[in-house]
Chains A and B, each alone.
Chain A
Amino acid sequence: MAESALPVQLGVIGAYLVVALAVGVAAYRLTGRDAEDYYLAGRSIGTVVLLFTTFATLLSAFTFFGGPNLAYAAGPEWILVMGVMDGLLFAILWYLIGYRQWLVGRAEGYVTLGEMLGDRFGSNRLRALVAGVSLFWLFPYVMLQQMGAGEAIVGLTDGTVPYWAGAAFITLFMIGYVVLAGLRGVAWTDTIQGVFMLGIVWVAVGWVLSSAGGLPAVSASLATNRPEFLALGGGVYSPQWMIAQAVTIAFGVTMFPQINQRFFVAKDARVLKRSFTLWPVLVLLLFVPAFLLGTWAAGLGVSVPEGANVIPVLLNAYTPAWFAALVVAGAMAAMMSSSDSMLLSGSSYLTRDLYRPFVNPAADDEREAWLARIGVAVFATGTFVASLFRPGTLVQVGDTAFGGYAQLALPVLVALYWPNTTRRGMLAGIGGSQLYYIAHVFVPATTVGGVTVFGSTYLTWDFALYGMVLSLALTVGVSLVTAPDADERTERFSVGTRAD
């Protein structure tokens, strides 16, 4: 990192922390003392904030680091995967799962997915299973964010601040911030950040293009140096791989606690309609420029050192150091804001779906709001301690989290629409597919009688897709052969005319 960039980066991060704190305090003053207000901002979020908080929460670090790295290494086709995944499939699921959950949640006052399913199927066991599965995948994922942020600080300060101190500082700030701000504050900072990132990525495109001689020149160098990048497909990009990635991530995203919980927070149906329409537009505006930058870097012959990210290297080569620093610091701040949301949702699953039903059913609303904040601290401290030891197992779980969440999506979809779904069907569908998926993550591939089992694909298709089919088959199949118990309340999900 260039000498002159350090003050700028520290300045941007410092400015971000100050803005975040100010927003947090403002949000705190507006937030009531009950859990619904803390977790869901009193179901009062408008279009722009909902759109950007969902977007920023999910993709911030990937947009500037992981995604462009992939485009640099393998070509820009990931743009198309992104389009199918987030612009189309997720938008449709936003309606099918999100709108439905919003209707049901508003009528019945649900705050978490587990709570909704547990109430409908009269089963604390189901509630705990959903929360447990969600936390199982979330915990290592948050740990990965903390590791990333800690490493970024080490890189930023050239090792002056050790890894543990960087990670500890970020953890403390996040705990303080989330405890104070609740969802309202988290959503507001996400929005500021989302708008900032969207603006800055286009500035970066303009700057790189103009210093590299314009689009025709950049395009020509790509055609000369990496002609294979212009062709659709090739390399890692096979149709099977692209479809599997788009499908598993789109379905997985809907079950990520911090995304799923956002289905409950919209102010009214108009907010959901507008954001539904705007998904493809946002995907277009953000990912095309971000991934083109990575692609152009390959064409321009920018060489990226081992372990570094392509965007900072490219920007250092073609734009002033302060601008590169601005983008890097913005991306780091984004990483923190994703973690904020995950902490908040993780703590709600912990306190509402595990602590309250099993440890202290009598806890009142105010007490629960306090527990929620303690939950944030416990969760963040846990992931921080884990990030110091970096157990390989946890890293592996975090890396496969999207597929793990994707296994939940179809049983939930079935439950939302099919009144004949039974508790046993849900337990079988969720439990069975999770066992299948986890076995494939951990059991090494072996060949039995010429067929490879526990490998990454069957007949060239990703194993996660088969897991999703299994989850659907188990949920529907077991529901067909079992009768609902007396305490299963189908009417909870029949939203009927109560939408108003």
Chain B
Amino acid sequence: MPRKKRDYPWIAVFGLLVAFGIPWFLWGSTATWVGLPVWLWWHIGWMALAAVAFAGFTRGAWDRGMDIDREGADG
């Protein structure tokens, strides 16, 4: 597969992660759960999800965009 095409899903994942790092759909919401605002729980879950996504990126897609042979760059 051409390099660019394989990059698109990751660009989308990173874009989504950044776009919803702030839960805009909860704007103005005062709902709480277990004593903390729901938007704070979103933040906690989102950071955990980001860590999982980043771990996936380092496993399968590291070196994307760097013009490096996969074989030569496992560092």
Contact = CB atoms under 8 A, between A and B. Distances in A.
Contact of B35 (A218, A227, A231, A500): A218
Given A84-B22, A88-B17, A288-B44, A231 B30 contact: yes
Contact of B46 (A83, A219, A494, A497): A83
Contacts of A215: 34-36
A452 interface: no
Interface string A92-132: 10001001100100000000000000000000000000000
B21 A233 contact: no
Given A269-B62, A284-B44, A230 B32 contact: yes
A499 B46 contact: no
A494 B67 contact: yes
Given A88-B17, A232-B26, A269 B51 contact: no
Contact of A80 (B22, B29, B48): B22
Interface in B8-55: 14, 17-18, 21-24, 26-30, 32, 34-37, 39-40, 43-44, 46-48, 50-51, 54-55
A495 B30 contact: no
A232 B54 contact: no
A495 B50 CA distance: 28
A281 B47 CA distance: 6
24 contacts: A76-B37, A84-B18, A84-B22, A87-B47, A91-B50, A92-B18, A103-B68, A215-B34, A219-B32, A219-B36, A223-B32, A232-B37, A233-B28, A246-B21, A269-B73, A277-B51, A277-B54, A280-B47, A280-B50, A280-B54, A283-B47, A417-B65, A495-B67, A497-B72
B72 A232 contact: no
A495 to B, nearest CB: 6
Interface in A288-334: 288, 292
Contacts of B35: 215-216, 218-219
A268 interface: yes
Interface in A199-247: 215-216, 218-219, 223, 227, 230-234, 239, 242-243, 246
Contacts of B67: 494-496
Contacts of B27: 232-233, 239
Interface residues of A, number: 52
B32 A495 contact: no
B15 to A, nearest CB: 10
Contacts of A231: 28-30, 37
Contacts of A99: 66
Residue from B30, B40, B75 having most chain A Cβ neighbours under 10 A: B75
Contacts of A79: 40, 43
Task: Name the residue in B17, B23, B43 with the highest tally of chain A Cβ atoms < 10 Å from its Cβ.
Answer: B43
A279 B54 contact: yes
A273 B22 contact: no
A98 B57 CA distance: 16
- The winner among A273, A278, A280, A499 for most chain B CB atoms within 10 A is A280
Nearest to B31: A230
Contacts of B51: 277-281
Nearest to B32: A230
List 9 tightest A-B contacts by C-beta distance, closest first.
A269-B75, A219-B35, A84-B21, A499-B73, A273-B58, A280-B47, A280-B50, A284-B47, A215-B35
A83 B47 contact: yes
A263 interface: no
A206 to B, nearest CB: 14
Contacts of A218: 35
A82 to B, nearest CB: 9
A239 B69 CA distance: 41
B45 to A, nearest CB: 10
A281 B50 CA distance: 9
Contacts of B54: 91, 276-277, 279-280
Contacts of A499: 63, 66, 68, 72-73, 75
A270 interface: yes
A242 B32 contact: no
A320 B50 CA distance: 38
A283 B46 CA distance: 12
Contacts of B75: 268-270, 273, 499-500
